[in-house]
Amino acid sequence: MSFTLISLVFFGLCLSSFVHGLDTSSNCSLDTFLQDFAFRALVITHRPHTGAFYRANLPTDLSGMEVSIARIRSRTLWKQGANLSSFRIPSRTVPVPHVRRLAIVYENLGNRSSQYYSISGYSLITPVIGFMVFDASNARAARLRSMGLDTKGKPISIHFSNVKYSVSARCATFSSNGTVDFSRMMVPNVCYTSNQGHFSVAVPLKRKQRPLYPWVIGIVLGFCALVLAGYFGFVSMKLLKTKRIQAMERQADEGEILNNRWVSCSKMPSAAVTRTQPVLENGGFP
């Protein structure tokens, strides 16, 4: 069985696993799968030009994604840096460990980004893009060795196109262990990083606002209840005052004993006459 047939079988098995979902812990991870296609694009090129991007041919099942690969000399990277699609690598950058040539794989997951990357409480407003660096000293190798970059403290800029800038927008960096790091977008449509990886722009999800009519109904009912309580309180006080007056009048009527007196043919109550005795100025009675 030829190497090409074996590769196709391997790619088919990987592709079927993606149809059922992504497993980042398996050997057929999304990065590995896309990188293999990128390496094939570099291998089938007779004499790849330094700095030129070669786009990989992906299966129809992964339509919407874009994967490219480019080779660059370490000396050129040190002197000029690199302008790789959405990424700008500054000058004075060196590969770690040092090699003469390196290959950079560029990924754009396009409209399939949310299928493989998601952030709880956030929404991705740009496709997930990424780049990885490999040792390209042996361009004919079936599998290139991954490596890192040392930018000497200078940031690598990531430029996103067609992004509606928002103050709530955050640069999202997806780590290989599944964590997500956020940073503020200081310049519209531009994020910064110090190393390779996958990146996107995300905004917090808006919480659904509850309708206002329950609050309005509650306020109206509360006001009505307050008015009714005040009215019944006022009526209760009036009734209590009236009862007190009636009780006092009744006590006054029951406590005073009047004598009866005949006037003509009628018997009428009569109070005893009490006259205040005069008192002289010297305190004696007349």
pLDDT tens digits along 5-32 = 434 444 444 444 443 333 444 334 788 8
Please state whether the predicted TM-score (pTM) of the whole model is above 0.75: no
Residue appearing with tokens 């399939």: 112
Strand partners, 138: none
- CA-to-CA distance for 160 and 143, rounded, in angstroms? 30
Residue whose C-alpha is closest to residue 185's, from 172, 204, 198:
172
Q: What is the mean pLDDT of residues 58-78?
A: 90
Taking each helix axis from N to C end, the angle separating 30-43 and 3-19, rounded to the nearest 10 degrees, works out to 150
Token reading at 182: 């956020």
Token reading at 249: 């009048």
Residue appearing with tokens 């196109």: 161
Q: Which phi and psi angles does 174 have, rounded to 5°? A: -95, 120
- CA-to-CA distance for 32 and 134, rounded, in angstroms? 12
Residue 80 makes CB contacts below 8 A (sequence gap 6+) with 91
String of DSSP letters for 225-250: HHHHHHHHHHHHHHHHHHHHHHHHHH
- CA-to-CA distance for 170 and 191, rounded, in angstroms? 9
Split at pLDDT 50, 70, 90, the class of 145 is confident
Identify whether the C-beta of residue 161 lies closer than 8 Å to the C-beta of residue 190: no
- CA-to-CA distance for 182 and 286, rounded, in angstroms? 113
* Residues 195-210 pLDDT 10s: 899 999 999 988 665 6
Query: So what's the pLDDT on residue 4?
Result: 40
- Provide Rg for the chain, Cα atoms: 47
Query: So what's the pLDDT on residue 275?
Result: 55
Residue appearing with tokens 């977008």: 185
The single-letter code of the amino acid at 196 is Q
CA angle 38, 44, 48 (to 5 degrees): 85
Query: So what's the pLDDT on residue 142?
Result: 61
* Residues 77-129 pLDDT 10s: 999 999 888 999 999 999 999 999 999 999 999 988 988 898 989 999 999 99
- CA-to-CA distance for 221 and 236, rounded, in angstroms? 22
Residue whose C-alpha is closest to residue 144's, from 33, 32, 39, 68:
39
Identify whether the C-beta of residue 29 lies closer than 8 Å to the C-beta of residue 22: yes
Polymer length in residues for the chain: 286
Residue whose C-alpha is closest to residue 30's, from 67, 3, 1:
67
